[in-house]
Chains A and B, each alone.
Chain A
Amino acid sequence: MAKIKGTIIVDIERCKGCGVCVPSCPANVLALSHHVNGKGYNYSYMANPDACIGCASCAIMCPDSVITVYRQKFE
């Protein structure tokens, strides 16, 4: 069966750790890291990467446009 899978890349150093991407994800993929970036922000990351469907909701919400989204169909 065909399966759609997505993944995101967070530009960690530009992420401000605002967290608005986290509840916007319909698949509960995202969380704020316990680690911080160079500015001291707890950046967003895929805590549950297998669940990502590549819908781009997180990227659309990000005020700082730091999320890039990819999606691939597997036959």
Chain B
Amino acid sequence: MAELEVQIKEENLVYRKSPLLTDKIMHYCPGCSHGTVHKLVAEVIDELGIQEKTIGVSPVGCSVFAYNYLHIDWSQAAHGRACAVATGIKRTNPDKMVFTYQGDGDLAAIGTAETIHACNRGENIAVIFINNAIYGMTGGQMAPTTLIGMKTATSPYGRDPKIHGFPYKIADIVSQLSGTCYVTRQSVHTPAAVRKTKAAIKKAFENAMAGKGLSFVEVVSTCNSGWKMSPVDANKWMEENLVPFYPLGDIKG
């Protein structure tokens, strides 16, 4: 029926790409969680009206080029050092909203010390932690967050705790520290999960502006290339395998 044709005009608009995202096509593999989380960060900054006040710190890892995709100021830190760099930026620019964006290899392996001490000092920053349980950028090696039994390039027979040690939950660890005001673990594998993650990022950014201490938002994510699955299968695998070990929800605050 012709009269039931939805007219393409502004008043009928429900959703469009955030104006804070640049026009650059993201270098991420099809279906990678990084793109979804970038979009949420852009939407939150736009909704809070803090584009001019925001400084992001990108890591080493697949999201090293995050600075290409959002119309905000950025710095890019050496591997694992984002929380230390963000500390310096925030302390010298107390009026800015400063956040880091880091993978699990970056934040929970080489950067463990910087992460834990920034959390313990209670720096007034937000940390967005993309936990895909693998080193994506370098070709899918085992990370500290890799599950027991999970096959990676450096654990081809599956992670064996006798050889490789155990996976650890750094969000739970930093929740024990007095300097963190908000610690949560979310995901982006369903529309409802994406909405919750957006709310968590918003809360974290508001805390950072209000000087309440460090907010830590873990996003349990997929790396379909590293896991060697289709993006849709990776979302399913994540829900069935990663989420039971990394349960979703607020841990603190």
Number of B residues, CB within 8 Å of A: 34
> Which residue among B12, B15, B30, B194 has the maximum number of chain A CB atoms within 10 Å of its CB?
B15
Report whether B33 and A63 are in contact in the complex, using a CB–CB cutoff of 8 Å.
Answer: yes
Cα–Cα, bound, A16→B194 (Å):
19
A8-44 interface with B by 8 A CB criterion: 9, 14, 16-20, 22-24, 41
B118-157 vs A, Cβ < 8 Å mask (1 yes, 0 no): 0000000000000000000000000000000000000000
How near does chain B come to A52, taking the closest CB pair, in angstroms? 8
Measured CB to CB, the closest approach of chain B to A21, in angstroms, equals: 10
Looking at B17-25, B177-185, B203-211, the stretch in contact with chain A turns out to be B17-25
- Shortest distance between the CB of A42 and any CB in chain B (Å): 10
Q: Which residues of A contact B191 (CB under 8 A)?
A: 24, 57, 60-61
The interface residues of chain A lying within 8 Å CB-to-CB of B109 are none
A residues 34-75 with Cβ under 8 Å of B? 41, 54, 56-57, 59-72, 74
B32 touching A71, Cβ below 8 Å? no
B235: shortest Cβ distance to chain A, in Å? 6
Binding site for A on B (CB under 8 A): 3-4, 6-9, 12-18, 21, 25-26, 28, 30-36, 39, 188, 190-191, 194-195, 230-232, 235
Listed from nearest, the 9 A-B pairs whose CB atoms lie closest are: A63-B35, A18-B31, A16-B30, A18-B30, A65-B17, A57-B191, A56-B15, A69-B14, A7-B6
